[in-house]
Amino acid sequence: MDKKQKHRTIIFYKDYFQEFFVKQREKVKDKIIWTFDLIEDLQRVPETYLKHLENTDGLYEIRVQQGSDIFRIFCFFDHGQLVVLANGFQKKTQKTPKQEIEKAIKIKDEYENQKE
């Protein structure tokens, strides 16, 4: 049987995401990978898993929940279909920490400048 067409491809940019990923528990890693598969495979990804960050220029957060732990991985699109991962963190409060958003914006700018 054909492997079904992916709607998106997730790529890693430098090792920002890996630095976060390697520190996670096995169950959390599994859930992150499961969420990535879902984002790649579904045509329309529910906001539960992928949500545009308000007041940002094309920054999205991938939302991962494992038990009572909540994680966010920032990403952005390149040519519409390519999801480029930036930084990830564990969410401890209702509001996403400003410094994490700023870090993600820096990574996105760096990526875009490097591409030119």
Q: What is the DSSP string of the chain?
A: -PPPPPS-EEEE-TTHHHHHHTTS-HHHHHHHHHHHHHHHH-SS--TTTEEEPTTSSS-EEEEEEETTEEEEEEEEEETTTEEEEEEEEEE-SSSPPHHHHHHHHHHHHHHHHHH-
% the chain with pLDDT above 90: 86
Q: pLDDT for 40-81, tens place per residue?
A: 999 999 999 999 999 999 999 999 999 999 999 999 999 878
Report the C-alpha gap between 28 and 89 in whole angstroms.
12
Check pLDDT > 60 for residue 28: yes
